[in-house]
Amino acid sequence: MVDTAVRPTDHENVDEIIRPTVDTDPITVPGQPGAPRIDVEKLGRQLLGTWADVRLASRELTARPEMQRIDGQSMEEHRERVMGQLKLLVEHGGVHRAFPSAVGGMDDHGGNIAGFEELVTADPSLQIKSGVQWGLFSAAILHLGTEYHHLTFLPDTMTLKVPGAFAMTETGHGSDVASIGTTATYDEKKQQFVINTPFRGAWKDYLGNAAKHGTAAVVFAQLITKGVNHGVHAFYVPIRNSKGGFLKGIGGEDDGLKGGLNGIDNGRLHFANVRVPRTNLLNRYGDVAEDGTYTSTIASPGRRFFTMLGTLVQGRVSLDGAATQASAMALKIAVTYATQRRQFNAASDTDEEVLLDYQRHQRRLIPRIATTYAQTFAHDEFLVKFDSVFSGKADTDDDRQDLETLAAALKPLSTWAALDTIQEAREACGGSGFLAENRFVGLRADLDVYVTFEGDNNVLLQLVAKRLLTDYSRKFASADAGALARYVVEQGVDRAYHGTGLRRLAQTVVDFGSTARSVSELRNPVTQRELLTDRVETMIAGIGGRLRDSRKLSKQAAADLFNSQQNELIEAARAHGELLQWEAFTRALEKTTDAGTKEVLTWLRDLFGLGLVEKHLAWYLINGRLSAKRAQAVTAYVDRLISRLRPHALDLVDAFGYKPEHLRASIASGAEQVRQDEARAYYADLRASGNAPIDEKALKAKKR
Amino acid sequence: MVDTAVRPTDHENVDEIIRPTVDTDPITVPGQPGAPRIDVEKLGRQLLGTWADVRLASRELTARPEMQRIDGQSMEEHRERVMGQLKLLVEHGGVHRAFPSAVGGMDDHGGNIAGFEELVTADPSLQIKSGVQWGLFSAAILHLGTEYHHLTFLPDTMTLKVPGAFAMTETGHGSDVASIGTTATYDEKKQQFVINTPFRGAWKDYLGNAAKHGTAAVVFAQLITKGVNHGVHAFYVPIRNSKGGFLKGIGGEDDGLKGGLNGIDNGRLHFANVRVPRTNLLNRYGDVAEDGTYTSTIASPGRRFFTMLGTLVQGRVSLDGAATQASAMALKIAVTYATQRRQFNAASDTDEEVLLDYQRHQRRLIPRIATTYAQTFAHDEFLVKFDSVFSGKADTDDDRQDLETLAAALKPLSTWAALDTIQEAREACGGSGFLAENRFVGLRADLDVYVTFEGDNNVLLQLVAKRLLTDYSRKFASADAGALARYVVEQGVDRAYHGTGLRRLAQTVVDFGSTARSVSELRNPVTQRELLTDRVETMIAGIGGRLRDSRKLSKQAAADLFNSQQNELIEAARAHGELLQWEAFTRALEKTTDAGTKEVLTWLRDLFGLGLVEKHLAWYLINGRLSAKRAQAVTAYVDRLISRLRPHALDLVDAFGYKPEHLRASIASGAEQVRQDEARAYYADLRASGNAPIDEKALKAKKR
């Protein structure tokens, strides 16, 4: 796209002189002497992670046309198709892994989620509807119920004889589950719970299986017995008869068309004093005796509530994985196209440039490959953690808390990244990216709601931040009042200068002229870790400091003070999640055995880490962590890393291991390469024939 | 959302001490003494802009159910519905404003676009399909054809008797129109052009009206006569018979389902030596005589090409306006909901917080109101410029170039902002935002392609950057070799320090301790303009400097050098577009007469300007334009402005003037307020009755 008319006059360039020169090693292409090459097969195996075989088996299933989405179906057709696919899943037997062997499962929690996530490649509606049935509805019976419920209800929910809804969210209460309005009042005389919806805002809403297929539901309600509200508990409630009509006292509405996931029949439910037997209370964490006495193994109502909700963390686990898969597919499609499609001829009279040779195109796609790799590695660690907690291998309170923090940190990052990545990939393919046949728009539409369901991303990040604040506060709980101040100052002395002022000036002077050293430092994972860790700690310490007086304040004033820090809290939590991803990527590198692969992946990890530093560069500058000089080196090195990675981009997305049956994108089918070859051959033949028309421009130039 | 367990211990806070304290004026709420209040009606009139009456008339039309989209229709149904709506538009007579009075139009170019943009509130498919028919297909006949074509073809295209396609884009060539493969070779013997598609990549693609309704097309092809290729010209080509079958030699395909805009029948066309009369060449800028002699009023083939394409700029104009409308609607819906919906009770035992009282929620929505205002004002100026060029009031070459630069700068910013704003609004409404009934998902899906059609956003911004480089290069064309260096240095002395190094240190020292002054400076529009202008100029100067040697290089090396600057070029162009928007907002303030409105709008403009500075804060720090101290003041002041604007948020979105018939979003209908009132009344009654269950938590606290 060079316009030769636009070249400034010859002159000295002041800016050039002060620009840091970095990383002068030559950029190589695989095949050149000394050039690293990725072992795509080995890398692919590493990306598949701990449950590689389960994933591959699941991918065989999702490669089958009958499991896949048909674009353009009506909502009704799509709903019925997905319902039919759920039955195929039951026949295939893969959806019961997580259940106890006593009821025909395999007690395999990690493998279950790994296989489940892969369903996103067939149709996200299939993934989420099966998640509703087995990951939420049946899982609630499993985790919140006891043996009676397992033996009574699970066999039919596992076989899909009883499709069910997970009735937690209400129109008026999404993330704040503790405040739901639905009540379950115990009637001692009849030994029944009376489920009731007291007002419109307390209608259950957005529930999969509620609009049409569900014949039962696990309903969350405030458990009231003997005049005391013991907080939110879950109840097994039949909702429809065999003909599909609502049972007495139950009503509902169809949520209708949605932005995506239209293969799922989301709907609303409400209850007018609906009675269920006392034993329909899923009573693992709280029970009501015949006489109405409430008992619980967990004394604190708050802790009991979080424990109950904590058993349902697998939804967040699986969304993190599915979102990462969707990003990977989008990148595979867009990068494949970008290495075949040509546009504009800048460097040659005859050949146009391949899209991925444009700097901007590289900047758009390659850093997102790095993010998707980081997510992939972080997700596998997350899944291992989940498995060890749910299998009982390591399920202390601390383990469960760590798991939930991990879930609350990673799910927001990967689901937002999926929307961002799919969209950038779609735009990078221009008009063809907008056609349903190339997959992006369908994936993006379906994944959209991943950022707000199973915990709204902003609310989840706030939970992470509170955990970080608690950790931070514990660190200083026993210390004297000056401890924090000294802590912050000591940090400063050890690492870098805090805040503005004279200290930073000193650093600026020190930095000047030592560019070479600063680049090798940026390559050093110790430096990257320090930069990323320091930011989280400093932000949390700053917020902690500003909140220090909140105990002395009125409830309103304390809330206002906390609210004034909300935005930064969420940013700190995001930074924490990014650090966790970076660490997982770095640990994965240690396990990479092939030397060529390791070299390229190290660049990719550096790109991920320094990309994060670049994104938050203003923070590093304001807080004196990077001098202006070094900050410039960050951007220059990011550019260099992208250039280095360009020749490996296709290998990196091939390693995700998707087959054409998973991608189903015509622009990634090789058709574009055929078109390009045909066009180039046409022009070459024309030139060779001597019959090519002369360009008017060329003619005029000749005449001159 | 305060968790009282999470409060750090009491201590000194070092960070606090060095944090700048800014803008201590109290925050007021309309109705308080001294508080400004927006005159919503007057402001609404100002937002409607120069063609307010045309817009209001168009909004009356779009308020009619028969003009609106029905969610959930099949693609086929939707296509037929929109086709029917186009006929209603003809009956209504509003779509012919831009055409000459000789053929029944009104010669009103600005008004035509203003009215056309409003169609997006009914259905973006309606907007774009009517754009295809009258803004592209008919407009090409008007602007590229001469009297013969106007009299022969326009009457039937204006009445929709002949629906037509605008056949420019090919599968293999989108943004690079000059390289399309379709040929139109003149046959002297028969005095006909032979339209031919030489290979698959040269199929016309993504054309509205091509899959089904079009019976003719304006086809762009390389005009070849007497063995010379005179570049791209447009031809009127009938494509279907009255029964809907393709004419001989013409074939095509349906593009099928898309991510949105499925009310339009986009498709592909190809031509196997299809013959049209010589006079079907739209010959305003280039003609072929009977004997095959080519003539043109524009000698330079390059300039001729750009002049021809320039006549079609109105597509970009209208997308800028329509994208801004879509953003405004999304904000009106989300802000309305955010002032009614409550979630979590941080400050009170009984009342939950309204969403818009959360800092994060404010940060998500209020800056986007500022951006949408900036776009609205910039768009009206853009439309006035367009009208003056197209009406002939001011249509010198410079005027046309300015118009195209404006289009290439503004269309990318507003179309990207629309996707960002609609998505943030949808997420801010949680699950309800994902339901089709609340409009966001439909609008976003339809608007998606606005960022890549009518000029891909990245390609357009590159055009802007080239224009800026040309301007910059002209500035120094006659100067000696050292001029640029001196220019950069002088700039530095006048304004602030460039680059890193000792000079910046001096400024840092000067800044220290003068926070109060720096805040009042940030409020000053002169400072804001300087910061924004300086960034554009400095970036362009830097790039210009780095490209200075490109003339001396080989074609390949020059292309590589240019490519190494591509990302920064596009960022510079974006900065230029942002500056244009800021300037338009500032000029609009001068026209705001009501004092209260002006005060609030000034905050909003400051938020827009300083929001841009905050977004690019790292640049300002690295380049020594802002000290770390002042950079912190920017963020603190942005926070303060958002707090100030919070009480006016609803007025600001109400001023967009949409009626319920335009919004058609159940969550913005007032239903949420009814639900909230009902829930609060229920709990108040329950408390008053004395029958409210006691919370287990409260009970335990009592027992202690």
In angstroms, the CA A592 to CA A598 distance is: 6
B184 touches B233 (CB < 8 A): yes
The reported pLDDT for the residue numbered B486 is: 44
CATH of residue B238? 2.40.110.10
pLDDT over 80 (residue B12): no
pLDDT tens for A151-187 read 999 999 999 999 999 999 999 999 899 999 999 999 9
A contacts of B16 (beta carbons < 8 Å): 545-546
Of A229, A257, A440, the CB nearest to B696: A229
pLDDT tens for B178-224 read 999 999 999 999 999 999 999 999 999 999 999 999 999 999 999 99
Q: Are strands A274-277 and B274-277 parallel, antiparallel or unpaired?
A: unpaired
pLDDT tens for B152-166 read 999 999 999 999 999
Single residue among A260, A285, A312 that ends a domain in this structure: A312
Asked whether residue A11 is assigned to any structural domain, the reply reads no
In angstroms, the CA B603 to CA B605 distance is: 5
Lowest mean pLDDT among A490-494, A500-504, A524-528, B448-452: A500-504
A346 touches A353 (CB < 8 A): yes
Asked whether residue A6 is assigned to any structural domain, the reply reads no
Looking from the CA of A410 toward its CB, the CA atoms found within 13 Å total 37
Domain that holds residue A298: 52-312
Of B259, B357, B545, the CB nearest to A434: B259
The reported pLDDT for the residue numbered B517 is: 53
Tokens read off for A251: 């009503």
Average per-residue pLDDT in chain A? 90
pLDDT confidence band for B498 (50 / 70 / 90): very low
pLDDT tens for B367-384 read 999 999 999 999 999 999
Chain B 656-675, residues with CB within 8 Å of chain A CB atoms? 674-675
pLDDT tens for A661-675 read 999 999 999 999 999
Tokens read off for B506: 């001096």
In angstroms, the CA B580 to CA A269 distance is: 51
- A330 and A268 share one domain: no
Segment B240-257 mean pLDDT:
97
pLDDT tens for A23-39 read 667 888 888 888 999 99
CA distance B65 to chain A (A): 19
Cβ within 8 Å, pair A360-B458: yes
Segment A32-61 mean pLDDT:
96
pLDDT confidence band for A358 (50 / 70 / 90): very high
Residues counted in chain B: 704
A contacts of B222 (beta carbons < 8 Å): 693
- A401 and A443 share one domain: yes
End-to-end CA distance of chain A: 26
The reported pLDDT for the residue numbered A504 is: 28
Chain B 439-478, residues with CB within 8 Å of chain A CB atoms? 440-442, 444-445, 448-449, 451-453, 456-459, 462, 466, 469-470, 472-473, 476-477
B contacts of A338 (beta carbons < 8 Å): none
Q: What percent of chain A has pLDDT over 70?
A: 90
pLDDT tens for B376-412 read 999 999 999 999 999 999 999 889 999 999 999 999 9
Q: What percent of chain A has pLDDT over 90?
A: 79
B contacts of A489 (beta carbons < 8 Å): 14
The reported pLDDT for the residue numbered B518 is: 64
Chain A 679-698, residues with CB within 8 Å of chain B CB atoms? 679, 682, 693-697
Segment A510-530 mean pLDDT:
69
Q: What percent of chain B has pLDDT over 90?
A: 79
Segment B246-252 mean pLDDT:
98
Asked whether residue A697 is assigned to any structural domain, the reply reads no
pLDDT over 70 (residue A9): no
pLDDT tens for B323-378 read 999 999 999 999 999 999 999 887 777 789 999 999 999 999 999 999 999 999 99
- A72 and A109 share one domain: yes
Q: Is A178 exposed, middle or buried (0-12, 13-18, 19+ CB in 10 A)?
A: middle
- A397 and A525 share one domain: yes
pLDDT over 70 (residue A510): no
Single residue among A249, A279, A312 that ends a domain in this structure: A312
pLDDT tens for B74-126 read 999 999 999 999 999 999 887 889 999 988 899 999 999 999 999 999 999 99
Q: ipTM score here?
A: 0.93
- A280 and A379 share one domain: no
Segment A594-617 mean pLDDT:
98
Best of A2, A9, A416, A689 to disrupt the B interface (most B CBs within 10 Å) is: A9
| pLDDT greater at residue A8 or residue A287 | A287
- A276 and A402 share one domain: no
Lowest mean pLDDT among A134-138, A561-565, B474-478, B555-559: B474-478
Q: Rounded to the nearest 5 degrees, what angle is found at the Cα of B19, between the Cα atoms of B14 and B22?
A: 150
Asked whether residue A272 is assigned to any structural domain, the reply reads yes
Q: Catalytic residue positions of A?
A: 454
pLDDT over 90 (residue A474): no
Q: How many CB pairs under 8 A join A and B?
A: 472
The reported pLDDT for the residue numbered B701 is: 82
In angstroms, the CA B340 to CA B354 distance is: 6
Residues 6+ apart with CB under 8 A from B523: B606, B637
pLDDT over 80 (residue B664): yes
Best of A355, A567, A625 to disrupt the B interface (most B CBs within 10 Å) is: A567
Chain A 497-526, residues with CB within 8 Å of chain B CB atoms? 498-501, 504-505, 508-509, 512
Segment A566-572 mean pLDDT:
96
pLDDT over 50 (residue B53): yes
B contacts of A358 (beta carbons < 8 Å): 563, 566
- B415 and B266 share one domain: no
| pLDDT greater at residue A108 or residue B492 | A108
pLDDT over 70 (residue B6): no
Number of domains in chain A: 2
Asked whether residue A660 is assigned to any structural domain, the reply reads no
Asked whether residue B662 is assigned to any structural domain, the reply reads no
pLDDT confidence band for A518 (50 / 70 / 90): low
Asked whether residue B395 is assigned to any structural domain, the reply reads yes
A204-207 sheet: strands from edge to edge: A204-207, A267-271, A250-254
Cα B200 to Cα A354, A679, A680, B183, distances in angstroms: 18, 8, 11, 13
In angstroms, the CA A526 to CA B263 distance is: 55
Chain B 23-62, residues with CB within 8 Å of chain A CB atoms? none
Of A6, A228, A445, the CB nearest to B469: A6
Cβ within 8 Å, pair B435-A258: yes
- A110 and A196 share one domain: yes
- B191 and B102 share one domain: yes
pLDDT over 50 (residue A278): yes
pLDDT tens for A407-466 read 999 999 999 999 999 999 999 999 999 999 999 999 999 999 999 999 999 999 999 999
pLDDT confidence band for B23 (50 / 70 / 90): low
Q: Torsion angle, CA of A588/A593/A597/A603, rounded to 10 degrees?
A: 50
CATH of residue B347? 1.20.140.10
Best of B200, B696, B699, B703 to disrupt the A interface (most A CBs within 10 Å) is: B696
pLDDT confidence band for B473 (50 / 70 / 90): confident
In angstroms, the CA B28 to CA B35 distance is: 5
pLDDT over 70 (residue B461): yes
| pLDDT greater at residue B69 or residue A344 | B69
- A332 and A223 share one domain: no
Cβ within 8 Å, pair A228-B259: no
Which residue in the block uniquely carries the two structure tokens 């943004």? B175
- Choose, from B381, B454, B578, B672, the residue flagged as catalytic: B454
The reported pLDDT for the residue numbered A512 is: 33
The reported pLDDT for the residue numbered A370 is: 98
Quick one: closest CA in B to A700, which residue?
A: B300
- B512 and B621 share one domain: yes
Asked whether residue B9 is assigned to any structural domain, the reply reads no
Is A200 near chain B, with CB under 8 Å? Answer: yes
pLDDT tens for A391-408 read 999 999 889 999 999 999
- B308 and B332 share one domain: no
